[in-house]
Amino acid sequence: MDQIPTHVTPRVEPTRGFGSLTSELGLLYGCDYNPEQWSREVWVEDVALMRAAGVNLVTVGVFSWALLEPQPGEFDMDWLGDVLDLLHAGGIAVDLATPSASPPAWMGVRWPETRAVTADGVRLSHGSRNHFCPSSSVYRERSLAIAGALVDRFASHPAVRMWHIGNEFGQVCHCDQCGAAFQTWLRARYGTLDELNRAWGTTFWSQCYFDWTEIIPPRAAPYLVNPTQTLDFRRFTSDQLLAMYTEQRDLVRTGSSGACVTTNFMGFHHLNDYWRWASEVDVIADDTYGDPADSDSPVRQALAHDLMRGLAGGAPWLLMEQAVSAVPWRGHNLPKTPGQTRLDSLRAIARGADGSCFFQWRQSAFGSERFHSALVPHAGPDTRLHRTVRAHGAELRRLDRVVGARVAARVALVFDWSSWWAAEEPAGPSTRLRVMDQMIAYYRPLWRAGIAVDIVSPGGDLAGYDLVVAPQLFLVDDPDARNLRGVVERGGVLVLGPFSGVADADAHIRLGRFPVQFADLVGGSGEEYCPLPDAGLRVRSAELGDFTATVWGERLRLDDGEAVATFTGDLDGSPAVLRRRAASGGEAWYVGTVPPQSVLDAIMGRAAASAGVVGTLGPGPLPDDVEAVQRGDVLFLLNAADEERVVALPGVHRDLLTAVRYNGAVLLGPQDAVALVAETA
Ligand code: GAL
């Protein structure tokens, strides 16, 4: 292999973190910019149009590797230098990407082992993107080399204010190099083979390992693969991608002037345990592609945004990518209305983002994403879409006072990647019980009530939360169980959803009446998981009203709690919903089924009331489709409905976006939003 430099010259310059960037530029507004698809004349026009649209940050170079390094070790960076000069002259800051998401064809041809292998043993080809193996030493060294060359050349370029490592880390590879790295990871986790054999339960089906080299990633196999092996491989894959990120980040940090370094997350992405990533990025950045055809999209986007705020520990985060209108990858892609574009962007700002960026600036004329919307469409700037872009850029400037402001939440929703992975392994009681379905179902009533929610990890600091909800926490280790129990012990309210507290960190089932770690807390315990027939099962409840439960049941028994709802039929007499008030004044709920949303709304309403938690606008319901979020001293009201909505709001408020004053009530137009500050009457 050629000698390649993997270090850069350290520079000492003042720190320029995300906070100093936003305090200088205000809310960030921008996009991915792929100038390599366009001529130099277009670049000049682009900068002029960006300025007119209020764009102040662009991400450059995400997919530029082949042009930056046309042959191994031969760099051609002058064109990028010209782009950065032009952007800087236009007053536009740059988030400079390392291009490792899409290695050039020469790499995979010359070093086939840099290409990922599927579980079926197929080595992926170039011709698309993201075909790399995250464990390939050649690929990793080459990634560091191009990153180092970019840092050496551009770290002190005044346009470069942020670094963007790779793009949407989310690859999985089953090759032998990954196998060897997996073995190393397992040695670090377990120390001895005996411990690994215990954790993996390898006496089952004669799977015992007598040498580390016998261990492989889960690959095509005749039948079900060991669930703990699969779980650990997921953990390993996330850590391996993180290691790729951190080695590039460290290189950039060493050689750059203190600009913040990050990469773009993908919401509740199945491949990455973002709790482990969160502290490694200088700013949490996320890509959210809400589906304009999905009426649930506002709730889903809000949940993802609240996750980002949780990952950021409440600090501001950045919406790195969203679509300004249609995407090309959904089969049937509806464009967004101007109202949806604006609402989606403002939703992120309301929920703690200090910037709203898009994919991408100019709509590609060629390539796989030529039907992906962009801030400048094929038809050019004289379009409804581009006028929306300009108007939104202008209105964001009126919101600069929210920069750095926080959203205060008294409710936490608990989410854990290992638990998600383990809960959805095949060969469980039902594949119909899905963790994300439960997350959204428990989140929805809080969203509707305008109650601020932080997404937290089960081991996170729960001290500030009066209501903690774990919609489906299958896997809970003992310290996390103590953490959750602590909520009730200090007088708070804990709600546990179905199939929670089932397994330990190795995904071994906890023996005894379930949920073993919480049965005393919820005042009841179970002995059998009973997925329900398609017709569901009737449940009696004086408190909630009778209802039909679907998908999931559990054979529970009442101990010293209350049965808030009780199954009939095959589970006759078994509590479906348990509650127990503790001596501390705290309260624990266990919902051992999937109630209709309206019943879950009532359960969450009661739990919130017990915790003394009310919505941003008080205890009453918000009008349908209206979202209310208080960020700092700004109250955001967003109406996703196609009709007007009136929101009662005592006092006089001024809308920062339009300067309109409201006294006692706010009239929201269809797909409209306001950002209100209180005024003394
Ligand atoms: C993102 C990706 C972008 C672009 C976009 C299209 O996942 O980071 O590069 O492909 O999707 O929606």
Read off the tokens for 296. 């649930």
Query: Is 661 part of a structural domain of the chain?
Result: no
pLDDT at residue number 681: 57
Query: Is 655 part of a structural domain of the chain?
Result: no
Strand 537-540 with 467-470, pairing: unpaired
pLDDT, the chain, mean: 96
Query: Is 647 part of a structural domain of the chain?
Result: no
Q: How far is the CA of 483 from the centre of ligand 1 (A)?
A: 37
Q: How far is the CA of 359 from the centre of ligand 1 (A)?
A: 7
Mutating to test ligand 1, I would choose from 63, 369, 373, 375 the residue with most ligand atoms within 8 A of its C-beta, which is 369
Chain centroid to Cα 512, Å, comes to: 35
Query: Is 9 part of a structural domain of the chain?
Result: no
At 532-547, the pLDDT tens digits run 999 999 999 999 999 9
Place of tokens 């001596």: 583
CA distance 165 to 251: 11
Residues 371 and 431 both lie in one domain = no
Mutating to test ligand 1, I would choose from 165, 357, 359, 370 the residue with most ligand atoms within 8 A of its C-beta, which is 359
Q: How far is the CA of 374 from the centre of ligand 1 (A)?
A: 11
Residues 361 and 438 both lie in one domain = no
Atom of ligand 1 nearest to the CA of 168: 8
CA distance 532 to 450: 33
pLDDT at residue number 410: 98
Contact residues for 533 (Cβ-Cβ < 8 A; gap 6+): none
Residues 231 and 311 both lie in one domain = yes
* CATH code for the domain in which residue 422 is found: 3.40.50.880
Contact residues for 650 (Cβ-Cβ < 8 A; gap 6+): 664
What residues does ligand 1 touch, defined as CB less than 6 Å away? Answer: 167-168, 287, 289, 321, 323, 327, 359, 369, 372
Atom of ligand 1 nearest to the CA of 264: 8
CA distance 340 to 480: 39
Region 104-108: what's the mean pLDDT? 98
At 3-46, the pLDDT tens digits run 444 444 433 333 458 999 999 999 999 999 999 999 999 999 99
Q: How far is the CA of 327 from the centre of ligand 1 (A)?
A: 9
Residues 378 and 430 both lie in one domain = no
Residues 389 and 458 both lie in one domain = no
CA distance 22 to 13: 19
pLDDT at residue number 340: 98
Query: Is 594 part of a structural domain of the chain?
Result: yes
Residues 100 and 24 both lie in one domain = yes
Q: How many domains does the chain have?
A: 2
Residues 369 and 248 both lie in one domain = yes
Atom of ligand 1 nearest to the CA of 167: 8
At 459-486, the pLDDT tens digits run 999 999 999 999 999 999 999 999 999 9
Does pLDDT of 1 surpass 60? no
Place of tokens 């060294």: 141
Residues 430 and 364 both lie in one domain = no
The catalytic site residues sit at: 168, 321
> What is the b/e burial string over 594-625, where b = at least 16 CB atoms within 10 angstroms of the residue's CB?
bbbeebbbbbbbbbbebbebebbbeeeebbeb
Task: Please give the residue range of the domain that contains residue 593.
Answer: 411-611
Q: How far is the CA of 360 from the centre of ligand 1 (A)?
A: 9
Read off the tokens for 308. 């980002």
For residue 455, which phi and psi values (nearest 5 degrees)? -90, 130
Contact residues for 431 (Cβ-Cβ < 8 A; gap 6+): 424
Residue with the nearest Cα to atom 12 of ligand 1? 327
| Confidence tier at 232 by pLDDT (50, 70, 90) | very high
Name the nearest CA neighbour of 246 among 342, 322, 329, 134: 134
Q: How far is the CA of 627 from the centre of ligand 1 (A)?
A: 27
Q: Which amino acid is at 456?
A: V
User: Cis bond leading into 515, ω under 30°?
Assistant: yes
CA distance 379 to 338: 16
Q: Which regions of 541-586 does DSSP assign to beta strands (E)?
A: 547-549, 554-558, 562-567, 575-581
Region 275-294: what's the mean pLDDT? 97
Region 113-136: what's the mean pLDDT? 98
CA distance 233 to 215: 11
User: Cis bond leading into 472, ω under 30°?
Assistant: no
Place of tokens 């995407």: 327
Q: Which amino acid is at 545?
A: G
Task: Assign residue 280 a region (left: φ > 0; alpha: ψ between -120 and 50; beta: otherwise).
Answer: alpha
Query: Is 303 part of a structural domain of the chain?
Result: yes
Which of these three, 611, 638, 659, is where a domain ends?
A: 611
Mutating to test ligand 1, I would choose from 59, 100, 287 the residue with most ligand atoms within 8 A of its C-beta, which is 287
Residues 426 and 521 both lie in one domain = yes
Atom of ligand 1 nearest to the CA of 327: 12
At 359-411, the pLDDT tens digits run 999 999 999 999 999 999 999 999 999 999 999 999 999 999 999 999 999 99
Q: How far is the CA of 182 from the centre of ligand 1 (A)?
A: 29
Which of these three, 402, 431, 459, is where a domain ends?
A: 402
| Confidence tier at 153 by pLDDT (50, 70, 90) | very high
CA distance 576 to 570: 12
pLDDT at residue number 360: 98
Which of these three, 611, 644, 675, is where a domain ends?
A: 611
Mutating to test ligand 1, I would choose from 64, 102, 321 the residue with most ligand atoms within 8 A of its C-beta, which is 321
Query: Is 659 part of a structural domain of the chain?
Result: no
> What is the b/e burial string over 165-182, where b = at least 16 CB atoms within 10 angstroms of the residue's CB?
bbbbbbbbbbbebbbebb
Residues 217 and 307 both lie in one domain = yes
Residue with the nearest Cα to atom 3 of ligand 1? 359
Contact residues for 450 (Cβ-Cβ < 8 A; gap 6+): 615, 616, 617, 622, 626, 627, 628, 629
Task: Assign residue 73 a region (left: φ > 0; alpha: ψ between -120 and 50; beta: otherwise).
Answer: left
Residue with the nearest Cα to atom 5 of ligand 1? 359
Share of the chain above pLDDT 70, in %: 98
Query: Is 645 part of a structural domain of the chain?
Result: no
Residues 283 and 311 both lie in one domain = yes
pLDDT at residue number 15: 42
Residues 506 and 588 both lie in one domain = yes
- Longest CA–CA separation in the chain, Å: 78
* CATH code for the domain in which residue 59 is found: 3.20.20.80
Atom of ligand 1 nearest to the CA of 328: 12
Cβ atoms of 374 and 336 within 8 Å: the answer is no
CA distance 571 to 590: 16
